[in-house]
Structure 1
Amino acid sequence: MKFKTGIVLILSATTIGIDTSLITTSITADAQEEKSPTLSSNSVTQRTVTVYPSDFLTYFQRNGSAANFNYDIQNFVQTLTPNMKDQSGNVTLKTKVDMSQNFTLSGSINLGDKSSESGGADGVGFLFHPGNTDVVGVKGGAAGIGGVKGAFGFKLDTYYNYDGDPYFYPDPSEFSPGQAYGAFVNGTSGVAQTLEESAQPISQPSNNQFKPFKMSYDGTSKMMTVTYDGKIWQQDVSNLIGTNQSMAFSISASTGDNFNLQQLQLSNFQYTIAQGTVHANYLDENGQTLKATITTSGDIDTLYTTSQVTIPGYTFERVTGAAHIGTYQANAQDVNYIYKRNQDFATITYIDDTTGQVLTHKEITGATGESTNYTTKTDIATFLSEGYQYVSDNYPKAGVTFTNQPQNFEVHLMHKSIATTETKQVKEVIHYQYKNGKQALNNYVATPLTFTRTVTTDQVIGSKTYGDWMASSGTSFEKVTSPSLKNYTPDVPQVAAIDKVSGETKDIVKTVIYMKVPSAVKIPMDKDKVAPHNPSQPSESSKKGQTPSVPVTAQANKKELPDTGAKNGIAETILGVIVFLATAGWLKLRKNQE
């Protein structure tokens, strides 16, 4: 988007600095001597001045690109922007205008030699605002008005802006073909907005022609009237001025991609110089107001004086800003009296009665005689949420009133504990298995023994305290006889009773192994074979052998036993034992193989 160029008259209610990022030409000191106006009387009549062309440098300060061009003292012309891209220049009145009085500004304006369609821009604006005298608005479409809160003014606009930005709204659509126009501007919000009902077309810039321009203002009715190019504009600016009585004034112009030579020729400017204002502010070290500001006014360069005051609970420290005694200037001055608060204090100590330790230490301060809205409620609630329980405190429920003596308070808390019951069962199980680990009989499961105890948990640190186990169903298991199983015998005929079982006892698991009982095997004997003699010490297995069914009778009178069959019986017994042992060994081997 291209920036507009032009001259603008602006009235503003706030202070803003020049947007130097938009100025391509640096501000340079005037080669010509500029004098400040001199006043000596405080009457309105004596404060009313007339600025003639020869007085221009006495009353106006040149800035931006305007500072690069000397004031033409022969033709009384001040160049605001040269016929170049991206220029911004302005002149600011060194004193403020008293808006309760009338003023008249007359002269001529040169808007350049090109319309916007031919590459010309941007126009001239006139500004009034209550800020410092060196404050101007943003260049381009803002017409030197936008960017200054509370500003308002009048502009001769030679470039149409289709789009707005943070400093100005788009121009009225009726001028979209690029028609130059004049209008009042409301910039009180900081964004320049053309008052469409006041807008009227004007001739396009041509031949660098100077055209008469006049602005007059009625301090009573607040009506502002502008005459230019055969047109008249009138606007009630009372709502734009607000309560501001003194306002700074500037005339500005700028160029962008489009450009024009833009100049001002002053003929006469009659106005009443506003009195200077001094504000005596009474603040604490954080800039907060302790006492209402005292405002005084007086003629420029006359003496003012301010003084400190006594504020209970505070001690005066220093003065900042303007001196406490001085002279009134065009811009308002602030004398800041800084006070330090008398630091009376009270302490609140939060104590853990369970451990005896201090949980936290609060210190509150305030001026003597003041009260604090601090309560212990919030901090106590925080500790309760962390597992504490409230015990007591001596902090006043209505809060503390500070005195010149230290005050100390205590809040006592303790760890909250919760008691629960823990239950445990001790079980006894007996497994009945074969030697190979397979189940032989159903498990024996005794009725469990139940124990309970109390568990106390600290809600702050989570520690647990345990009581003793208490039996609910006895403390012993009875003896258990191993059940019989055909052809098998248990390795433990009876599992002994278990006494003194407690909650600390682990579950009891026993295993009983069942082994197969071997059966006797008969093997027929050959009668022709002679059985071996009985050993002098028979083995255990021979003792367990089957007893023969026919008794044997020995005959002592013969050397040899008669063939009664007794020898055969003995032999059969011996062979039976041998076969039994062999069979048992074979069975064991087979089981191992399985």
Structure 2
Amino acid sequence: RASSSSAVNAETTSAKTRQTVTKISYNTLLQPLRTSKALATDKEVLTHVTKDNFLAYFSLNGSATYDQNTGTVTITPDEYDKVGNFSLKSKIDMNSSFTLTGQVNIGNKTSSQGGADGIGFAFHNGNTTDVGNAGGNLGIGGLQDTIGFKLDTWHNDNFTPQATVPGAQVSSTDSNGFGWSQDPRNPQFGAFVTTDSEEIKAKDKKPYQRWWATTDMFSVKGLSSNDLDGNFHNFVVSYDGDRRLLTINYTEASGNVLTWTKKVDSSYQAMAMIISASTGGAKNLQQFKITKFDFKQAATVNVKYVDTKGNQIDQGGVTYPNGANVNGTYRTGQLEIPNYKFVRMDDGTATGSNSLPAKGTLTKAGDNGTVIYVYAPAYTQTSKTISETIKYIDQDSKKVVIVGYTADPITFVTVTNPVDNTTTTYYSTKAKAATLDDNGVPIVTGWTKADSYYFAEVVNPKVDGYKVISNDAPHSDLTKVSVQTVYTNSSDLNFTVVYAKNAPTMTTEKKTVNETVSYV
């Protein structure tokens, strides 16, 4: 090593230079590291779906089938009366951006050529397992608080609901039962659709609750008949979580790109997603091909309101006081459902699954399970007790038997199911009142299902010195009161058997009398 001052100065200068270079190099490296860290964080929270892992994140329902080789969901085949959909198994965190990139095939027949119905895309606040109504609703009507979009290929006029029950109780495939709203006049079009809870008059002129789907007429854009070419067209759903802006892009056969945008209210925190299609008396092959889907899973639970057989009877929501996040909490509550009463949280006997607690903590991203409230019809009952008494008197209305006859009374209980207004009748000769189980059946033994029963035959008692001269019981004679059948509308039975004293006994005696006359 050199020992001269010039050499030292040179070394010092060189060291400073090296320090400067080193410092620059560190900063240069730091930025990529920061970027790399951010990307790693994004990868930790974002879920990346492709054709290869599609079935791990989506459920298929109805006629929907999936080809993993191509990433194609055939929602409906080109057949009549088909309903299909695929739904995301977890909810989307609406505070984060997401993008669904793919292609759609809406068929090769226009409505004038017998093609229908189209494809509906729905983001909603219901359960991840909820399915919207088919037909004119395109799988959107019936879902709670929905922001939907549809590529509609069949014009529908307003249709009055035929089912006279709340919408939650109408099958998803019963489009006539649910009813639907008016479409624009376009033969085929794209537009946003929303659902609101409304009271809609059914065929009986009475209003019933429906999550009613209405097309946003201001968003309607007509589609060319050339788009019904049987080919796939680019389709992108993107959402900006910061601006809360939903954007739909659809590429027509001509190459023109149609764009729709809609603002999403801040109240929408976590939303389920479902894509549906249906056919009826007209048909089309309707498909969706996934390229990729990147989104952040919210931590959520589902909530169901079912009857004792597991059938859905109402829809409700879940609240997340601290947001739909891991380690956050959730809350659900009972609903006041007309004609029903709450009986228990499901223990597996209604749906086959045990319910989560009504409120609790979210332990993981995605679906944390389901809260299940079980209800039974609020059965009502009317009872009627019918008795049978027999008096034994003489012609002067005086008792000839100190104690008359009194049968064990018969009690009828008529149970009414307020849901369908059906009635079931039971009788008992022991109990006077019934306690019903969740199915409307008396719990205490001794009740028999029947709407009629009978009082047994009663033989008239023998009374010394008297005989029966009349009996006012139907179908009876002087020896007995016959079997008497009674019904729920029968009155108490009161019979009288009349006795008379026996007549005096008349006897005849012959006697020979001799007459003797003496003459003296």
Measured against the shorter chain, the TM-score band is: 0.3 to 0.5
TM-score, with normalisation over the residues of structure 2? 0.46
- Bigger radius of gyration: 1
TM-score, with normalisation over the residues of structure 1? 0.40
